[in-house]
Every structure is written in structure tokens, then in C-alpha cells.
Amino acid sequence: MTQLSQVAGGRGVSHAPPSGRLRDRARPWLYLAPVIVALLVWVYGPLVFTGVLSFMDWNLTAPHPSWVGTDNYTLLTDDPRFGEAVRNTLVYAAAMLPFATLVPMALAVALWKRPGRVSNVYRTLLFLPVVLAPVATAVVWQFLLDPLSGLVNVALGWFGLDPRNWLGDPSSALYVIVLITALKVVALNTLLFGAALATLDRGLLEAAALDGATEWDITRHLVLPHLRRALVLLGLLSLVVTWPWIFSNVAVLTQGGPDGSTDNVYYRMFLYAFAFFDAGTASAAAVVITAGLAVVLGLGLLLTGRRQRVVT
Amino acid sequence: MSSPSRTDARPAPALVAPTLVAPTQLAPAPVPARRGTGRRIARTVAHHAFLLAAVAVMVLPVLWALAVSFKTPGGVFDENPLPWPATLDNYRVATQDFPVWRLLLNTTVMAAGATLLQLLFAVPGAYALARFPPRGHRAVEALIVVTLLVPPQSLIIPLFLMVTELGWRNTYPGLILPQLVGTGLAVMLLRDHIRAVPATVLGAAVLDGARPGEALRMVVLPLLRPALGAVSILLFITSWNEYLWPSLIAPGMEDTTIQPGLAFFLTQEGSAYGPLLAGSMLATLPVVAAYLLASRRVTDAFMHSGLR
């Protein structure tokens, strides 16, 4: 019986018979060891390594690093381009937020309201931006946004608007990158909101409808509250997971330009490391990014009162 | 109108069971039937207009890439969006002048390897956390969740140096092993799925004398097959679309994966847009196929996750 309660969902090991106690106590750690070791080696080790490197001067092409104290951080604060990258990063994150939360939530609710074959077709088509190759995504938008013949400018022309060089103009380039990337974010998060909705009991809503609740009542008081947790979680996670997509678009389309207007901390870090081969400064940038993100996520969780169970 | 309640707008009126209880007794129609019908039609139109508009925007780049991949070199910059006259030349150039098959093979090995490796590490851990969590399981869970909040890009420098030190540049281990960075997500998703396996099912197995290891192999894993499929597809798509890591660790024309490889079509002398997009279609097809085969399951992967 003891074993049953353990294997079948029991929590404690305290009731184990004396003979098997040590083994029972060691067993979970045996199962957990691989993943703990993997994360220590590939996440926590590198995190510490980055911290140490940020106090070193290490040209990646030279053999030996040397200790330079906080010089790398001074270099960052003195570099106006890094300051601009930080500001741009905040604009990126803020501009992306509705595309990680409200837009996909509206789409997921609409799909969920009328289940069936038609909605499944919509759902599949809406996921497509995620699977389009990153370089292809960027190149297609280069076509569509072409200042002269691009479809976007042609379409704007139908409404009497003048063509613009959307990616060549420092005042619009960042927002264009956000919009291009937003397609992938919306696609993924629509699926995730859909998963959250799949656990909502339709019978409950039928009952509410029978009691005379209007469709808006049901959406407002049952569906949206059910999604609040997903909303907070996906909003915060978008601060972590959208950067690879933004990165590939910036790398192919603008390389941070024009005038550094699409630069961000991740792209700048990449430049420090792999264009200037300056591992120390790049690591200092990585530390600033990680610490800054930790503060933002911490504040976000604190403000939304969801400290205990983020993903667990 | 068979049922005046508003629920009949949904295609599942059976749940209202109109044959058992006359709905009119429970919910008298709050509006005259005719006005209700008109409003319902308007609502249906608005519903489809909203979703069709979204689909149009979301699918446009994909269709555009598909169209250009069939255009002649002269037609690439045409204002005519349709690929007419159509040609397979771009696919020929992509597969003959560029090592696209080789890159697709590399990508397949990397993505499959990374997926299997992450599952191998994640399943036992998830099982332990779901079924016999040790005393310190909260700390372990915190250790895992924190890894989900670290942007992988901020680890790229130490990972690059580690892989270089191990002599793994331009190798499959160098491409695959650092992707263990993402194992935490698989653990958390699978833990929630294993928790959803009814305790009685497991209990029966244990009463029959199964040890935890046997219960995992003979009861949990078979029951978990749909969830494993869903999580696998998710991990596979993520790995398949990886761009930055392969471009740093295996930049060579023959050694890299398809995502950075597509950038070879963009050169200073001139960019081969047609072949690039043809190559990207070849890179997209396997993922679309995987998604179509199990699109419901991909949603299910998150069913028991903390999203609800």
C-alpha cells in the first residue's frame, strides 16, 4: 500500500517501511539527476561563466583572457549605441505586448466559440507564420515593403497615400520589424490561448446561457477570467521568447539600422561577440540583459500577484 | 426556430438536450425570434470577417513565398503576384547549385536528435516530479522554471566557448547538445500530463507488483503517447527553426542547417531570391506536414500546462 500511494500520486516518503526507506528516498533523485545535471551544465554553468567573463578582457581570437574588473561595464555605459539599444529594446517589448496577449486572445476566443471543421481550417492557417523559415520571412517582407513596387505601398496607393521606404526610415523601421515579427508571435500564442480554452467546461457555459446570460455576459464573466492566468503568463513570456524571431529579421533586413533605430541589446551583444570578437563586453551586455529581464519579470509577477505558480 | 435560446448559435445544440426539457420553460426568449435571427446572422458575418481578415494577413507572406518560388528570374520583381509563367527552375537551382538536400539532412538530424535527447532527459524527471516528488521538489521545480525565463541568446557566448573548447564546432554534438538548454519546458509540460494519468490506473499496476520503473515503461509511457507526440512536435519545430546557433557553431556551406543556409542565396553580387524561396519551401514542407498530422495534438501539449 505504501508503494501504491507513492507511485500513484502520494507525496510523502515518510510512511515507507524501514527496509526500503533509503532506496525510496534516493529514487526520485535518480530520476531527476539527468535533467538537473543537464540544466546545471548547459544553463547555470554558462550563466556563471558569463558573469565571470564580464570582468575579463578576452578577444576571442587571442589565446588568454585577463582580469579587467568593471572596465567592460564602464565601456557599456560610455557607449551611446548601447544606451540606444537598451531604449529600443524597451520599445520593442512594449510594442510587442498586444500581439502576445490581446490579439491572439481575441482570435483564440473567436475560434473556440464556434468549434468545427471551419474553425480547424482557420486554426491551421493561422499557425503557418511560425513554420515559414526565418530568412524567407525576412526576404518576403523585403519584397512586400519595397519602396517602389512593394505590395504594401501599392495598396496604400489605392487609398491615395504616398509610398514610403518603411525599412529605410529611422522613424518607422523598428515598428515594421515588430509588425513582421508579430505575425509569428500571434500565430504561436493563438495556439497557446486555444490550449488554455480547451480546459474550459462548455457545459458550464450552456448552463449560464440557459439561465439567460447573454453571449457577452458569458465572455466577460466566464471566458475572460478563465484566460487571465494565460494572459499574464504569455505576456511575461513574450519578453523572453520573441527575441530570436526579432533577431533574424533585424539581421537580414536592417542590421540594426538605419541610424541604429532597430538595434537592440541582443543584436548589440551579438555584434560585440561575433563582429568585434570582444567576449568580455558581450558578456557584460548579457549580464545586463539577464539582470534587467529578471527585474522586469519579478516586478511583473509581483504586480499581478502570481508569485507562487508561474509555470508550475 | 427550433430553439429560442441563444445557445443554438453553436453547432452543438445536443448539449442543451431540447428533447428532455423544453428550453422555453427554462429560458424564455428575451428578444423576438426574428430580431434574434437577424442579429445572429450579423454575428456570424462579423465572426468570419474577423477571422478571414486575420488569416489573410497571416497567410500573405507564406503565399507570397510560395508564388515567388515558382516565378521566372525576370518575374521575381513583377507587380503581378501570380507566378505566371510558372517554372520549376528555382527548385532546380536550389537543389543543384546549392547543397539544399545536404542542409535538410543536417537539419533533420539536428532537430530529431535534439528532440529525442530532451525527451530522454525530461521524461524520468517529469515522472518523478509528478508521482513521487522528493522533499526538495519545490527547489527542483524552481531550478527548472528559472531556466525557462533565461533568454537563450544571453547564454550564447559561454555556450560557443564551451563547444569550441570541446572541439565540437561543425559537428552534430555541437549543434544538438546545447539545445538541452530548453529541457525545462518539456519537463514541466510532461509533468502536468503525467499528473493527469488517473491514479487508479497506476495503482492497479503497482498492486500487480510493478516497480516504479516498470510502471513508467508499461503504464505511463503508453498512456502518455499523445502528449509525448505533441511535445515532440513542439520541440522539433523549435529546433528546426533554429537560426542563430547553427550559423555560429557550424557556418560552413556543407555543415550548417537549412535556416542559416538559406542566407547563402543572399550575396553581395546579387541575391537569388527565387531559389532562396524555393529552398525555404522545401524547408517548410516537413514542418507543415508534421503540424498537419498532429495539429490537434500540438494544442493538447499545453492542455494540462499551467496556462489554465
Q: What is the tens place of the pLDDT at every residue in B131-149?
A: 888 888 899 999 998 898 8
pLDDT computed for residue A305 by the predictor: 66
Q: What is the mean pLDDT of residues B177-203?
A: 85
pLDDT computed for residue B163 by the predictor: 92
Let me know if residue B166 belongs to a domain: yes
Helix (H, G, I), strand (E, B) or coil at A57: strand
Q: What is the mean pLDDT of residues B148-161?
A: 88
Place of cell 423544453: B22
Mutation choice for B interface testing from A89, A118, A140 by most B CBs within 10 A: A140
Q: Using an 8 Å CB-CB cutoff, list chain A residues near B120.
A: 34
DSSP A65: -
| Record: contact B158-A46, CB cut-off 8 A | yes
Whether residue A32 contacts residue B129, with contact meaning beta carbons closer than 8 Å, is answered with yes
Neighbours of B189 (CB within 10 A): 24
**CB-based contact, B81 to chain A, within 8 Å:** yes
pLDDT digits (tens, 9 = 90+) for B262-289: 888 887 677 788 889 999 999 998 888 8
DSSP B211: -
pLDDT in tens, chain A (312 residues): 344 444 444 444 444 444 567 777 788 898 999 999 999 999 999 999 999 989 988 877 766 788 888 888 988 888 899 999 999 999 999 999 999 999 999 999 999 888 888 888 898 899 999 989 999 999 999 888 888 878 888 888 888 888 888 888 888 899 999 999 999 999 989 988 888 888 788 888 888 888 888 888 888 888 888 888 888 888 888 888 888 899 999 998 998 878 888 999 899 999 988 888 888 889 999 999 999 998 988 888 888 765 444 444
CATH for A75-303, among 2.170.120.20, 1.10.1740.10, 1.20.1560.10, 1.10.3720.10?
Answer: 1.10.3720.10
Neighbours of A187 (CB within 10 A): 21
DSSP A220: I
Q: How far apart are CA A255 and CA B196, in angstroms?
A: 47
Interhelix angle A134-144/A151-158, nearest 10 degrees: 40
Place of cell 535527447: B117
Residues B12 and B160 in one domain: no
Query: For residue A241, what is its C-alpha cell?
Result: 521568447
**CB-based contact, B212 to chain A, within 8 Å:** yes
Expressed as residue numbers, the domain containing B146 is 100-300
Query: For residue B98, what is its C-alpha cell?
Result: 546549392
Query: For residue B30, what is its C-alpha cell?
Result: 428575451
Q: Using an 8 Å CB-CB cutoff, list chain B residues near A51.
A: none
- The DSSP H or E segment spanning B146 is helix B137-149
Compute the Cα dihedral for B68, B71, B76, B80 and give only its sign: negative
Q: Which residue of B has its CA nearest to A236?
A: B149
Q: What percent of chain B has pLDDT over 90?
A: 26
Residues B182 and B295 in one domain: yes
Q: What is the Cβ-side half-sphere exposure of residue A230, based on CA atoms within 13 angstroms? A: 31
pLDDT computed for residue B5 by the predictor: 43
| Record: contact B158-A126, CB cut-off 8 A | no
**CB-based contact, B45 to chain A, within 8 Å:** no
Residues B115 and B13 in one domain: no
Q: Where are the beta strands (DSSP E) in chain A?
A: 56-57, 66-67
pLDDT computed for residue A20 by the predictor: 62
Q: What is the mean pLDDT of residues B192-218?
A: 78
Contacts of B12-18 with C-beta under 8 Å, sequence gap 24+, read: B12/A115, B12/A202, B15/A202, B15/A203, B15/A206, B16/A206, B16/A210
- Name the pLDDT band for B306 (thresholds 50, 70, 90): low
Q: What is the mean pLDDT of residues B279-304?
A: 77
CATH number for the domain spanning B137: value is 1.10.3720.10
**CB-based contact, B50 to chain A, within 8 Å:** yes
**CB-based contact, A209 to chain B, within 8 Å:** yes
Let me know if residue B35 belongs to a domain: no
Q: How far apart are CA A97 and CA B209, in angstroms?
A: 52
| Residue A155 CB partners (closer than 8 Å, separation 6+) | none
Let me know if residue B11 belongs to a domain: yes
Helix (H, G, I), strand (E, B) or coil at B90: helix
Mutation choice for B interface testing from A1, A2, A40, A43 by most B CBs within 10 A: A43
pLDDT computed for residue B118 by the predictor: 95
Query: For residue A264, what is its C-alpha cell?
Result: 537592440
- Name the pLDDT band for B13 (thresholds 50, 70, 90): very low
Let me know if residue B56 belongs to a domain: no
The answer to whether ipTM exceeds 0.85 is no
Structurally, chain B folds into a number of domains equal to: 2
pLDDT computed for residue B210 by the predictor: 75
Strand partners, A59: A278
pLDDT computed for residue A212 by the predictor: 84
Q: What is the mean pLDDT of residues B109-132?
A: 92
Whether residue B172 contacts residue B117, with contact meaning beta carbons closer than 8 Å, is answered with no
Angle at A235 between CA A231 and CA A240, to 5 degrees: 145
Chain B (91-130) residues lying within 8 Å, Cβ to Cβ, of chain A: 120-122, 124-125, 127-130
Nearest to B243 by CA among A30, A85, A156, A248: A248
Q: How far apart are CA B132 and CA A25, in angstroms?
A: 9
Residues B25 and B105 in one domain: no
Let me know if residue B49 belongs to a domain: no
Q: Give me the DSSP letters along A154-199.
A: HHHHHTTPPP--TTT-TTTHHHHHHHHHHHHHHHHHHHHHHHHHTT
Nearest to A196 by CA among A258, A105, A70, A301: A105
Let me know if residue B79 belongs to a domain: no
Decide if pLDDT at B59 tops 90.
Answer: yes
Query: For residue A302, what is its C-alpha cell?
Result: 509581483
Compute the Cα dihedral for A53, A58, A60, A62 and give only its sign: negative
pLDDT computed for residue B298 by the predictor: 65
Let me know if residue B247 belongs to a domain: yes
From the list A114, A137, A252, the residue facing B61 with the nearest CB is A137
Decide if pLDDT at B260 tops 70.
Answer: yes
B67 or B305, greater pLDDT? B67
From the list A113, A266, A309, the residue facing B153 with the nearest CB is A266
DSSP A149: T
Let me know if residue B41 belongs to a domain: no
- The DSSP H or E segment spanning A208 is helix A202-210
Compute the Cα dihedral for A102, A108, A112, A118 and give only its sign: positive
- Kindly list the domain boundaries of chain A, sorted by start residue: 2-53, 75-303
Residues B149 and B24 in one domain: no
Q: Using an 8 Å CB-CB cutoff, list chain B residues near A243.
A: 151, 153
